[in-house]
Each structure stands twice: as C-alpha cells, then as structure tokens.
Structure 1
Amino acid sequence: MQTVTALRWPGCVNTRDLGGLPTVHGGRIRRGALIRSDRPRPASVDAVLRAGVRLVIDLRLAGECAADPSPLAGHPVYRNLPVLREEDTVLEAMAETLPAIYRAILDRGADRMTGVLTAIALAPPGGVLVHCHAGRDRTGLVVALALSLAGVPDEEIARDYAVTAACLPPGSGDRARRLFGQITEATMLETLAYLRERHGGAVPYLGLDDTAAALLRARLTEPAGEPVREPAGERPGG
C-alpha cells in the first residue's frame, strides 16, 4: 500500500497530491502531477502556484462559481469545466445513496467527463489541480477516471477516495450524515465495478483516442526505479 501526500494549503481541508500511487505496470503516479482538493480560498492561491500547478480545473456549475467565485478566476491557469448539467444543482436530489448518485453522474455526464480528462491530458507541463466544492463527489469521480486510465488498481483508487471522510465535517441533518457515512472504499469499488459493467471501463466510457490516452498516462505516471521527489513543507497522508 502506498500513501499520497496531504497538502497544507491555507483555507483548504481536503487537499492531497496523488503522487506515489502504484500502477499495475510497475510504475507510479508522478509527484505533483495530479492534485485533488476542495475549492481553493483566497489564502490558498500562493500555495497552489508554488506547488507548480499549471492548470486548475473547477468542476462546479456556473451558478456555483457565480455565487462563490474562485480566487483564481481570470488567472491563466484557471478553467471552469462542469461535469453536471445546470439542472443538477443538488447532488443529493439525484439519488438516495452515494453509489447511486455516482452512477447518475457517470450516466449523464460522459461527454463532460471526457472534456475534463482531455484537458488534463493536454495541460501545460506542470501539475493539474482538480476541485469541486468539497472535493468529494465530482472530484472523486474525475480522479478515479484519471487514475484508472493511468493504471492505478481499483483498491488504491478506493483507498484514496475514502481518505476524504477524515478531512471533511459530516454536515448537518440525517440525510447528510447518512451520505457522509458512505464515503468508504466500498462505495468507490462499487462505482468502478459499475463503470466496467455498464460502460466497459474508463477507456470506452470516455472515448479518448489513443493519442489523448497516451498523453494522459505519460504526464501522470513515471516508471519504477525513478527517484521519488518528496514535496517540501508537506506531510504524508493516508
């Protein structure tokens, strides 16, 4: 089992560098290549840029961004690429459980997911930051697709996803707490199994051509034997 690196970015509570996760090909995810987070706050901007991030993908809807603008909006690194439709304003209204919500997002949003993964593949040299509001659901799915394409085993993807439960507050209300309790490895494993059974896996689901898929794998992974670059000023996380 490998560990990712929790990042101490001011204003953020659910941020980690996915570098170090192993692939089935014997390599690993490159340090600094793919970072997941809750939405950055004004105090986070310097840390984001110092981390070498050259593309920030905000997965929130336009209405969410208007109500709570990104402090990076207008910066050359920033792009808003929603993975939901405008009518899907409340995730919890889509289904009764997190696995069912994730199935609904996948079934409705293949074209938008493909746009996000293509943007990661074609990003300028440097790191890519993916975030939504809390860095849980939409971010979790995009990261799962990216890691799956890069060859990370399901169990490692699920283990990283479950770390979010230790980073976020459970929320208020019975339904919110019930959904929060489903931030588990089992939820992501069920989602990845559905992706294969219903859509054939990440590659057929996204429909990326060979060039885009190869670019994504090349930017995210490094072969076994390369020295690991440990990020400075950060701490290991689960």
Structure 2
Amino acid sequence: MSGLNPDGAAAQSHTPPTTHPTPPSPPFVHVAGADNFRDAGGYALDGQPGKAIRRGVVFRSAHLTDLEDDGVATLQRLGVTHVFDLRSFPEIDKEGRSRAWEGATSQLLPVFLGKDYRPEALAVRFRHYSDGPEGFVKAYSGILSTAAEPDHPYAPYHKILEHLASPTNPPTPLLVHCSAGKDRTGVIIALILSLCGLSDDAVAAEYSLTDRGLARRKEAIVQRLIGEDAPLCGQRARAEMMVGAAKENMLGTLALIRQQYGSVESYVVDHLGVSQAKVDQLRRNLVVDLAEGEEALDWRRHAGSKEEPRL
C-alpha cells in the first residue's frame, strides 16, 4: 500500500511492519551493529563459463557508527583491512565517526565534502530524488560527476579502484560504506562489478538487495521524512520510493554512463584517471574460476525475480 487514500490524500495512520524478510546469506553477512552488510562477490559472468566475481574481497554496508564488539570480531574474521567511508563531513558530524578496530585502516573519502546526503537532507535539496527511477538517475549522475572532478581532494572512487587493482592478488578485503550503503556505495559497487563483466541485470539486482538490507531501518527513515514539518510531510509513497533501491534506478544509471561517457571503462579510465593497466589488473584480481562443485550466487532468486536476463 502507498499510504494514500483513494482521493490521493495522505493516510492518517499507519501500522509499521513488525517483521522483515530475512536477507539471503550469502551474500548478506550478519555484522552486529552494521546494517546492509554483504559481499559483492560470487556472481557468475554471462558469456564466461565457469567465471565469477571473487568472494570475500569487496564488502559493502551502511555506516559503522553503531558497530558492536561482536561485529568487530566478524569483520576481523572476514579479514577486512581497509574501510572507505564515503560520507560527507556534515553527515559524520551528525552520525558520528565509524568505529575503528585493530588490524584495519579507516579512510574518509567523502564524495560530497560539505553536502549532507542522508535521505532527510536529500528530500529537501533534491526533490526529484523521490520521483522514482528518473530522479535516482539524476542524483546518481551528480555522484558520478562529482567523484570524477579533476580537482577532487579525495578522489574517492579512484582510490577504491586503485586498492582493488593492487599487484597483490587477491587484494586485501575492503569495506565501502556511506550513510545507508545505498547510493554512493551503490554506484561504486556497480562500477566495480561492471568492469569485471557482470551483466547490467545482475548489477541492478545486486543493488536492489539494499531493500532487504535496510528493511529494519526503513520505517524509521520513512517516518522522519513524512512527519509534521518533515521534507515529505504526509507523502508516504514518495518517501518509500526515496528509501528504496529499485533495480530500475541502477539500470537507468548504467545506461546514462554509456550515453554520457561511452562505457563504464571509459568513465573509469578517462574521467576517474585509473590507468588501463590498473583496470586490467583489477579484472585479474576479481574475476576467478569457480572451484569444482562451487555454485555462483543466483541473483534472480536473491532479488525475488524470475525474469531472464535481457539480451
């Protein structure tokens, strides 16, 4: 239900859901105090029989401000050595610094230096963001252009890709996150997976898993958006759209990259400044043979979709 009555007015009451679907594991990993945590690897590559994205190297999540001791132990067990925080400084001031732990280096790599990019702030600054896929593509276009600014003091996406292009194969495991682990994180993960040859449909399905990863937090965020004097006061349908991660958001963004930059690889090489040699090394690091008896992740089942990939 959209939260609107038959006349289109905001519904006067809403009963929050009391249960949430359990995220599939893999790719989700329970990390106490970290929402939306999952491995971006394990997906088979179309047209490359027996090949898949390496597991256990690229992890993604929401912020780690509330990370618990048990969560730290899980991250240490996973071998995470580098944490890349894409949040802006205003977001860090409001949410707090992500928790650090022995054995890992945490690096601030803000995409937007002084812009609050949490859902509440976006609802004020980017009204089109709650308009569905078209609005998301506009917002993600801004992420892509900002991350590629030649004078960006942090070069966030460049540094993440450089880590994954390490001559050490495989590179040490990394975790990338922003506030919710959906938008800025979703864009860089899509770039990584696309560079490795994952199909657009699979990339978009992986992105859409954030709907499950944030299920526990979704209603609280929606309520902050639609409450009295809130940015989307009474507009539940728009708020839910804004918090969601529909696969069409990412499909549209990948199409925009090709239209505006030529290809994902061209964007990475010509605009992020990652050399072709580094891109080739990244692929060697992350594209692996499936072991005998190993099964790739079924992205259609995980995304709740039975559709066939588009040709």
TM-score by length of 1: 0.85
Match for 1:153 among 190, 199, 206? 199
Q: How far has the Cα of 1:12 moved from its partner?
A: 1.9
Aligned equivalent of 1:70: 98
Aligned equivalent of 1:140: 186
Larger radius of gyration: 2
Matched length: 230
Question: Are 2:277 and 1:214 equivalent residues in the alignment?
Answer: no
Amino acid at match of 2:53: I
Match for 2:58 among 27, 34, 38? 34
Q: Secondary structure at the match of 2:56?
A: coil
Aligned-residue CA RMSD (Å): 2.6
Amino acid at match of 2:72: V
Q: Secondary structure at the match of 2:175?
A: strand
Q: Secondary structure at the match of 1:42?
A: coil
Q: Judge which range, 40-49 or 185-194, deviates more.
A: 40-49
Counterparts of 1:175-186 in structure 2 under 5 Å? Answer: 175-181=238-244, 183-186=245-248
| Counterpart contact for 2:76–2:103, Cα < 8 Å | no
Q: Secondary structure at the match of 1:6?
A: coil
Amino acid at match of 1:38: A
Aligned equivalent of 1:194: 256
Q: Secondary structure at the match of 1:122?
A: coil
Question: Are 2:123 and 1:98 equivalent residues in the alignment?
Answer: no
| Counterpart contact for 1:33–1:219, Cα < 8 Å | no
Residues 34-92 of structure 1: per-residue CA shift (max 9 Å, x gap): 11111123312221121111221111123333441111178642111112232465444
Identity %: 30
User: 1:130 and 1:229, CA in 2 relative to 1: closer, same or farther beyond 3 A?
Assistant: farther
- Give the structure, 1 or 2, with the largest relative contact order (CA under 8 Å, sep 6 or more): 1
Aligned equivalent of 1:45: 72
- Unpaired segments of 5 or more residues in structure 2? 1-24, 129-134, 150-154, 227-234, 304-311
Aligned equivalent of 1:110: 148
Match for 2:164 among 104, 120, 127? 120
Aligned equivalent of 2:11: none
Q: Relative to total residues, which structure has the larger strand share, 1 or 2?
A: 1
Aligned equivalent of 1:56: 83
Amino acid at match of 2:188: V
Q: How far has the Cα of 1:222 moved from its partner?
A: 0.5
Aligned equivalent of 1:20: 42
User: 1:6 and 1:84, CA in 2 relative to 1: closer, same or farther beyond 3 A?
Assistant: same
Q: How far has the Cα of 1:148 moved from its partner?
A: 0.7
- Unpaired segments of 5 or more residues in structure 1? 231-235
Q: Judge which range, 66-75 or 128-137, deviates more.
A: 66-75
Amino acid at match of 2:243: F
Q: How far has the Cα of 1:6 moved from its partner?
A: 0.9
Aligned equivalent of 1:233: none
Q: How far has the Cα of 1:121 moved from its partner?
A: 2.4
Amino acid at match of 2:59: I
Q: Hey, what's the Cα distance between the residues in 1 that align with 2:90 and 2:101?
A: 14
Q: Hey, what's the Cα distance between the residues in 2 that align with 1:123 and 1:213?
A: 11
Q: Secondary structure at the match of 1:65?
A: helix
Match for 1:79 among 107, 128, 145? 107
Q: Secondary structure at the match of 1:39?
A: coil
